[in-house]
Amino acid sequence: MTEDLILANATLVLPNETVTGTVRIVGEAIAEIDTGNRVPAGAIDCEGDYVSPGLVELHTDNLERHIQPRPQVNWPHAAAILAHDAELAGAGITTVFDAMRVGSIPSGARRYGKYARGLSQELWDLREQDALKISHFLHLRAEVCSETLVEELSEFGPEDRVGIVSIMDHTPGQRQFRDMGKLETFLKGKYAMDDDTFFQHVAQLKGLRDRNGALHEVEAVKAARRFGAVLASHDDTTEDQVKVSAGHGIRLAEFPTTVEAARACHENDIQIMMGAPNIIRGGSHSGNVAAHELAQLGYLDILSSDYVPSALLLSAVRLGEIWGDMARGMKTVTLAPARAAGLEERGELRAGARADVIRFRMRAGVPVPSSVWVRGRRVA
């Protein structure tokens, strides 16, 4: 028989407020929410700790970091997937959309090959073995400035749990790296490019965009429809780019780089996602708009940990401080991303919802997860 799990005397993070109360979980679902500080027999006394829905992560490169922990080091994929999964669970993330690039460049100054199809199959094999702690979906990052996007998209189908397809365009001189000087510093620092290699790389990418960009953009939109996935834009910078996104039916904008683009997204009912590290650092590492500026303008709906999983919960708390509203800050990492991804059964504490729940407390201004449950089962 399934025993009830009762978390009592907790600060419950509800969609629009925080209250002292109790969550009762039966099996894989939340059975009841109650208010007050009473601790029933057999309940866990949370002693005022926060109890929140599990965090929902829509865009993270963390799996790639585990697969290649150092340049030229290719870590065994199963071990990398399990380490990534455990790290996210420990950070309070109970649902993740693992970002994988589709669209490769097997020739030229900086070559890179395809990997998403094989890696995703290894991920699903582990899921079939019940080896994963949290819930995984795919986020395919469709790079239009590439050689093989159409071929790689064709390798996926509706059965592959592709939840998001984002249209990526890393052509030098626009979007994230309008400042070519910053792009040069970034590439030379990360890949040890010399001057000739850098200029060859830039020329190659611009040529690929000219030859393939329009077709690849169309094919990415078609693929998202075929998968039944949410379509997202990436690094919109101008109002005109947002108009194109809206024309494609995009309702999620990842990391708009200017106030102009964010305002246009807001006016077009496109949800705006910004990076948690941007909140914590106080600005963008690429010199683009600061997330806290968009938050103060009311142009920030969702946060993503991007490349630091532990940043997600911390940034939501910081955002709650900026807004003076913890529930609103936490909503950017729970209910808002869940709904943006079309997940109706998770992201909030309510009777009938999936029992993805975290308990955390504040220490020295930092939220510390102490327990994490996925479908009612403790995973961290």
pLDDT in tens, the chain (380 residues): 457 999 999 999 999 999 999 999 999 999 999 999 999 999 999 999 999 999 999 999 999 999 999 888 999 999 999 999 999 999 999 999 999 999 887 776 566 689 999 999 999 999 999 999 999 999 999 998 888 899 999 999 999 999 999 998 866 656 666 665 565 555 555 666 677 776 776 666 766 776 777 889 999 999 999 999 999 999 999 999 999 999 999 999 999 999 999 999 999 999 999 999 999 999 886 678 999 999 999 999 999 999 999 999 999 999 999 999 999 999 999 999 999 999 999 999 999 999 999 999 999 999 999 999 999 999 99
- Confirm whether pTM is higher than 0.75: yes
- Which stretches of 36-110 are assigned E, i.e. beta strand? 44-45, 50-53, 55-60, 93-102
pLDDT on residue 171: 66
Q: What is the CATH number of the domain that holds 91?
A: 3.20.20.140
Q: How many structural domains compose the chain?
A: 2
Tell which residue, 120, 157, 158, 159, has the closest CA to residue 138.
120
Q: Give the residue numbers spanning the domain of 329.
A: 55-345
Lookup result for tokens 């239009």 = 144
Closest CA to 30 of 338, 337, 373, 376: 376
Do 15 and 79 sit in the same domain of this protein? no
Both 219 and 292 in one domain: the answer is yes
Do 164 and 39 reside in the same domain of the chain?
A: no
Domain containing 364 — which CATH number?
Answer: 2.30.40.10
- Quick one: 281 and 370 in the same domain? no
Rounded CA separation 195/272 (Å): 36
- Asked whether residue 68 falls in the same domain as residue 147, the answer is yes
Gap between the Cα atoms of 259 and 50, Å rounded: 33
Do the Cβ atoms of 355 and 376 come closer than 8 Å? yes
Chain-centre distance for alpha carbon 366? 21
User: Do 237 and 370 sit in the same domain of this protein?
Assistant: no
Instruction: For residue 289, give both structure tokens.
Output: 């708009």
Same domain for 36 and 65, yes or no, is no
Name the CA radius of gyration of the chain, rounded. Answer: 21
User: Quick check: helix, strand or coil at residue 303?
Assistant: strand
> In the 8-state DSSP scheme, what is residue 64?
H
* 161, 290: one domain: yes
11 and 151 assigned to the same domain: no
Angle, nearest 10°, between helix axes 239-247 and 259-267? 30
DSSP state string for 221-254:
HHHHHHHTPEEEEES--SHHHHHHHHHTT--EEE
Q: Tell me the backbone φ, ψ of residue 163, rounded to 5 degrees.
A: -95, -30
- The predicted pLDDT at position 172 comes to 65
Tell me the residue type at 26: V
pLDDT at 1: 45
Same domain, 24 and 144: no
pLDDT, residue 196, reads: 73
Distance CA 57, CA 341 (A): 10
Report whether 142 contacts 167 (CB < 8 A): yes
CB-count exposure of residue 281 (10 Å: 0-12, 13-18, 19+): middle
Do 76 and 35 fall into the same domain?
Answer: no
Q: Put the strands of the sheet holding 271-275 in their side by side order.
A: 55-60, 93-102, 135-143, 162-168, 230-234, 252-254, 271-275, 302-304
Place of tokens 């510390």: 368
**59 and 37 inside one domain:** no
